[in-house]
Chain A
């Protein structure tokens, strides 16, 4: 499988749409995840009240983010964490490399973290001569294949079991028995990665949410690699997006009631892991400390465009807890998958986050890649109004002259016709007659000129043969006469 992605958004979409295996995988996976979520919420008492509360908690936290960042860092430092502040992706990566070098680390293990993808951490570590191993099964496959994750929580839905088997055989020396079944491949990965966990000097993780009051980091996983990464190596480095806080542990509990249910339909993840400082030593030689856990816990707080995004009309996207539910229900994501979006964060959330973090000029097409159906808003555990944010970005694109030229010309022509009643009437009659002639069963499958771009991937409803005014007038005249 070739991993090189075309440069333009439309070319990536064409590639994805032509990939029937991808379609099959997407449709199976997305249907399953979306149905699991629906069932989980149906079984949760007071689900609506919990979602309202989670939204209030996240909104309040973001509105007081400076205060909660100060409270979190003070509490975490009291518990022995070392706090690092990183303004940019490069700063964040350099900070982690610095920690690794100071500790003499030559091998680092990682649990899944979208933020580490965002700051391209693996690159930076490898450039500094530090080997880094992804330990989430999906991310491990992504890494050995030099691929990119295509879904926030299901990174390799675009790959079939045969792909994974071939990779394990060719790159890791797996035998035929090792890759005969999916459980066999999983056991093979366990054995391979267990070895890495034992030898790693540093573990790198993301953070789902941090608790300001107690300075705790919450990290949820199903595989247990999150626990291994934060327990086995002597040094643990946690990457925290600066918006991912909640005020109290009780607030965390509310959001956790929704997170796994939204992501996979689980009542709770297999492992909900709460970390408050590094391993605790005994107070005196007689009083024993904790027998295991990392001796050092570093928290790297990353901005990388978030504070700038906060100051805009898109700030609501910072409520997001990255469950991935909006991807699973999005009709666009379900057709094109994650790679076509081109950024680290795909789907509806990515179409707001990528332009928000890196600028609309780089990602002007993404807000257009939505039918604005609102399915994302309906499933969002914190009720983010994604269509509203996508519309804001579309308006910004027009105002910033980033919209395609034909849109501007088209709107100008439309306004010229629509503001002149005679021209409007004539155009209406003309389009009606032409449309009726070209349509089959009320749909146009090919439009002329630049309008053809629309009908390349979908049909257009045929205009009525008779305009509303023309249909109305004879009736109105008859009524007046009677």
Chain B
């Protein structure tokens, strides 16, 4: 007995025999030539302009204490005292969590259990956390995108559940566009179960084309640029 898979593939092959497909080549089209490289300064400027236009905010920090100041400052703006975070090694700043703890910020850790009841209880507890803190794997200057790849210690919920998302972005990780990024870092696609590119706060314009932020994801997004 044939399976649905066999029948569907056979139907596709039958269709292909008489399909009228203008501009179809038998070989995969050659990639477009790469665009001219851009300076880090140019990309920082563009990233800042585009993310700000989306109502995201851009901060700068050099030393770890600057970084902790920036994070604590953002937390204070929203009166947030606890946060969901990537693991310290994934943030790329050893010692940062301790400094944040010393400033009165409590890190909420989680690892969702593989059973429905335990999972529900954990997610419910996480839903009230004040802000989310992540690193990033890359950033895209045109459009202000922050690239997050999931993995051990690199949860998806930190950039999704809380009302505020704070991302630490190294300027050396900037690329002009998504094609440039994937040409340089094809490994990112399959490194975790999820790659998310975040371009500003969650938004909708479904009701009368009126732009509104924070419908499901964070209402505020802060990128802290480090050298």
Which A residues between 267 and 306 are near B, CB-CB below 8 angstroms? 267-280, 282, 287-293, 295, 301, 303
Instruction: Out of A57, A185, A289, A312, name the residue touching B20 (CB < 8 Å).
Output: A312
In the complex, residue of chain B having the shortest beta-carbon distance to the beta carbon of A62: B21
- Are B7 and A87 within 8 A (Cβ)? yes
Partner of A214, one of B7, B12, B116, B189: B189
CB-based nearest A residue for B31: A250
Give 1 or 0 for each of A32-71: 1 = CB within 8 Å of chain B CB: 1000000000000110011001011101101111100110
Q: Are B119 and A290 in contact (CB under 8 A)?
A: no
Beyond A79-B193, A227-B196, A279-B193, 13 additional contacts (C-beta under 8 Å) are: A46-B35, A63-B19, A87-B11, A197-B216, A223-B204, A250-B31, A257-B177, A269-B199, A288-B153, A292-B112, A293-B194, A315-B15, A316-B21
B227 at the interface (CB under 8 A from A): no
Pick out which of these stretches binds chain B: A1-9, A134-142, A360-368, A401-409.
Answer: A134-142
Residues 305-333 of A at the B interface (beta carbon under 8 Å): 307-316
The 7 lowest CB-CB distance pairs between A and B, nearest first, are A224-B217, A310-B15, A267-B143, A311-B15, A138-B206, A63-B24, A307-B11
Residues 189-232 (chain A) with a chain B CB within 8 angstroms: 189-190, 193-194, 197-199, 201, 211, 214, 216, 222-225, 227-228, 230-232
Identify which of A45, A189, A277, A311 contacts B19 (C-beta below 8 A). Answer: A311
Q: Is the CB of B203 within 8 A of A223?
A: yes
Contacts of B18 in A (CB 8 A): 311-312
Instruction: Give CA–CA (A288, B160) in the complex, Å.
Output: 21
Q: Name the interface residues of A246-277: CB closer than 8 Å to any CB of B.
A: 247-254, 256-257, 264, 266-277
- Tell whether, in the assembled complex, residue A66 and residue B194 are in contact, meaning their CB atoms are under 8 Å apart: no
Tell yes or no: B22 within 8 A of A by CB. yes
Do A256 and B178 contact each other (CB < 8 Å), given the known contacts A214-B190, A276-B189? yes
Interface segment, A152-160, A170-178, A463-471?
Answer: A152-160
Are A161 and B207 neighbours in the complex by a CB distance under 8 Å?
yes
Minimal beta-carbon separation of B146 from chain A (angstroms): 11
Residue of B nearest to A273 (CB): B196
29 A-B residue contacts at CB 8 Å?
A: A55-B23, A56-B29, A60-B25, A62-B21, A63-B26, A66-B12, A137-B207, A154-B209, A161-B207, A182-B212, A186-B212, A227-B216, A227-B217, A228-B217, A232-B123, A247-B28, A249-B186, A270-B201, A271-B197, A272-B145, A275-B193, A275-B194, A282-B152, A291-B157, A293-B193, A303-B8, A311-B16, A312-B18, A316-B22
Contacts known (A59-B25, A60-B27); A186 close to B151, Cβ less than 8 A: no
Bound together, the chains give a CA A138 to CA B5 distance in angstroms of: 35
- Residues 203-224 of B, flagged 1 when their CB comes within 8 A of A and 0 if not, give 1111111101011111000000
B117-155 interface code vs A (CB 8 A; 1 in, 0 out): 001100110010000000000001011110000111111
Given A85-B3, A307-B14, A312-B20: A254 and B179 interface contact (C-beta under 8 Å): yes
A198 to B161, CA, bound (A): 11
> A249 contacts which chain B residues (CB < 8 A)?
182, 186, 189
Residues of B within 8 A of A311 (CB): 14-19
Could you tell me the distance between the alpha carbons of A53 and B32 in the complex, rounded to whole angstroms?
8
B63 in contact (CB, < 8 A): no
Residues of B that sit less than 8 Å from A by CB: 3-5, 7-9, 11-29, 31-32, 35, 50, 54, 110-112, 114, 116, 119-120, 123-124, 127, 140, 142-145, 150-157, 160, 177-179, 181-183, 186, 189-190, 192-210, 212, 214-218
B154 to A, closest residue via Cβ:
A290
Main SS at interface, chain B: loop
CA gap between A138 and B215 in the complex, in Å: 11
Which residues of B have CB within 8 Å of A199?
120
Is the pair A60, B24 in contact by a Cβ cutoff of 8 Å? yes
Set of chain A residues within 8 Å of B21, measured between Cβ atoms: 59, 62-63, 315-316
Smallest beta-carbon distance A45→chain B, Å = 7
Please measure, in the bound complex, the distance between the C-alpha atom of A59 and the C-alpha atom of B29, giving whole angstroms. 10
A62 touches B24 (CB 8 A): yes
B11/A231 in contact, CB under 8 A:
no
Residues of A within 8 A of B214 (CB): 186-187, 190
Residues in A with CB closer than 8 Å to B110 are 291-292
**A19 contacts which chain B residues (CB < 8 A)?**
none
Tell me whether A293 and B212 are in contact in the complex, defined as CB-CB below 8 angstroms, given that A185-B207, A249-B186 are known contacts: no
Contact A182 B199 (CB under 8 A): no
User: Is the CB of A86 closer than 8 A to any CB of chain B?
Assistant: yes
Name the distance in Å between A147's Cβ and chain B's nearest Cβ: 13
Decide if B206 touches A234 in the complex (CB within 8 Å): no
Decide: B209 and A28 in contact? CB cutoff 8 A.
yes
The answer, yes or no, to whether A120 is at the interface (CB within 8 Å) is no
Asked if A280 meets B193 with Cβ closer than 8 Å, knowing A62-B19, A91-B4, A227-B160, the reply is: yes
Q: What chain B residues lie within 8 Å of A308 (beta carbons)? A: 11, 15
A93-140: which have CB < 8 Å to B?
104, 135-138
Tell me whether A421 is interfacial, beta carbon within 8 Å.
no
